[in-house]
Chains A and B, each alone.
Chain A
Amino acid sequence: MTAKLKVDNVSKDFTGRNGKLQALRDIRLDINEGEFLCIVGPSGCGKTTLLNIIAGLENVYKGRVVHNGEFINSTGPDRLVIFQELGLFPWLSVVKNVEFGLKMKKVPQPRRRETALKYLDMVNLLKFKDAHIHELSGGMKQRVALARAFAMDPEVLLMDEPFTALDAQTRDMLHDELQKIWQETGKTIIFVTHNVREAVCLGDKVIVMSSQPGMIKTEFRIDLPRPRHIEDGGVMDMVRPILKELSFEIKKSFEEEYDAKKDN
């Protein structure tokens, strides 16, 4: 397998009140086609920034990102983001939300509806196709967002802590569904989370990032059979070493925040 998405020496600085802050330093990543990559790190380590750069939402940075041999400097329907806040449109019904991206692609109506219904069926929400967004539960909204993203048939799906606000049971169910859809469609997924168990449960590869500057610290390959569940013994065994790496980083970033406050 060749690397489909290549993050090459990407660095990014933010200029804030306390001077320059290196959000990302020399990030190098090779992501293969159909790979499920999870990125974990303490808050403020730049994981969302990295995701935004790959999505093309963030354009000012050093280094380069190459997708299918082309440099990325804008958003494109080949790389779709599922935001933490989802951004479902309250003025549209569920099915029209799923159709939105296809409408932007100028897919004609009968086919648009057909595709949307297919993906709503995939996330088991066919019954709610005419509902409005505010009528859905948190988990159902997540599934609409998944259907909306998959309906556009992107090559890469970028997910930014999408399941953070959900209760544990709903999250477990969505882990199952996401793994199932991923296996059926064979998409490349980059999944950002701060939950190590979630990362091990979902990913082929888990990358631990350090904070300030945001760098890739360690890479773990997860060779466990699928479908995985968060309470599987194998998952738990993999979680421990990653958690150890991460807790060191979390402690470090706490201390840095503490110092920063003391300086003021």
Chain B
Amino acid sequence: MRKKIIKQVVFYLCLFGLWQLIVAMKIWPEYVFPSPIQVFGTIITGFSNSTFIVAIGISLKRIAIGYGISILIGGFLGIMMSKFKTVDETLGSLVLGLQTLPSICWLPLALLWFGLNERAIIFVVIMGALFSITTATDSGIKHVSPIYIKAGRNMGARRYTLFLEVIIPAAMPSIISGLKQGWSFAWRSLMAGELLFVNLGLGYLLTVGRELNDMSQVLAVMIIIALISILVDKIVFGKIEANIKRKWGLSAKY
């Protein structure tokens, strides 16, 4: 573990060194290829004059609302699909079809429906996560081992208790992986949406950077977006997944 950290620190130091070296060789002008120090400076200024903080806050708020609604609707649809054959055969095929559609393709439709406002972008975020969560919930519930249901019934679990205390926990590993996939789709579509439809947020900062020819800001915002992705993906979902793996004994490591 410690060896791994040392390797990573050395790797990133070398990477920044190489970057600085290329800048020092003055192949490209600084406004095309800024130095790491300059980018770092932009990050500091961005945070100290709070433009970055506001942008992060707005993007996170959008994803929280959109992703939250996605979980509610996706969970509900998934449960319906797993419970009722007709829903599965009809809605299920539609969900499968729509899942292949990149969710940013919903933006023109959302703009026409809702206009240039917050609701349009949240709609795109919802569509980004919705189908992953629906399919994962559905297949998680369908693949619960019958022995758990038999055992639960045998011990007196009925309808709601059986569902809440046996079926949902048994389907949890699948549901969590669906939530994780849904999150990354939602985050990607939010960034794409903010880039195209300029109205605050991190994606907007990227566009502003481009328009002002401020390469340093573009790189700084890209780094922040990547860091947020890593934070949620590896730390939040990583923790939840590790916890489930540990309980279920799904992996020898962890």
Q: Please report A residues at the B interface, Cβ cutoff 8 Å.
A: 55, 57, 75-77, 80-81, 83, 85-92, 100-101, 103-105, 132-135, 148, 152
Contact = CB atoms under 8 A, between A and B. Distances in A.
12 contacts: A57-B150, A57-B154, A75-B153, A81-B150, A81-B154, A83-B147, A83-B150, A89-B169, A91-B248, A104-B155, A104-B156, A132-B246
Contacts of B248: 90-91, 132, 134
B249 A104 contact: no
A90 B172 CA distance: 11
A86 B152 CA distance: 11
Contacts of B246: 132
Contacts of B166: 89
Contacts of B155: 77, 80, 100-101, 104, 148, 152
Contacts of A152: 155-156
B130 to A, nearest CB: 26
A134 B244 CA distance: 12
Contacts of A104: 155-157, 161, 165
Given A85-B147, A89-B148, A132-B247, A105 B156 contact: yes
B115 to A, nearest CB: 45
A87 B148 contact: yes
B170 interface: yes
B151 interface: yes
B75 to A, nearest CB: 18
A77 B165 CA distance: 17
Given A105-B156, A132-B249, A91 B150 contact: no
Nearest to A145: B151
A134 B251 CA distance: 11
Contacts of A87: 147-148, 150-152
Interface residues of B, number: 21
A88 B148 CA distance: 7
Contacts of B169: 89, 91-92
A134 to B, nearest CB: 3
Contacts of B165: 100, 103-104
Contacts of A92: 169
A90 B154 contact: no
Given A87-B147, A88-B151, A152-B156, 20 more contacts: A57-B150, A57-B154, A77-B155, A81-B150, A81-B154, A83-B150, A83-B151, A86-B147, A87-B151, A89-B148, A89-B169, A89-B170, A91-B172, A91-B248, A100-B152, A101-B155, A101-B156, A104-B157, A132-B246, A135-B249
Contacts of B170: 89, 91
Contacts of B156: 76-77, 101, 104-105, 152
What are the nearest 8 A-B pairs in CB distance?
Answer: A134-B249, A87-B151, A101-B155, A104-B156, A87-B147, A91-B169, A77-B156, A90-B248
Nearest to A88: B151
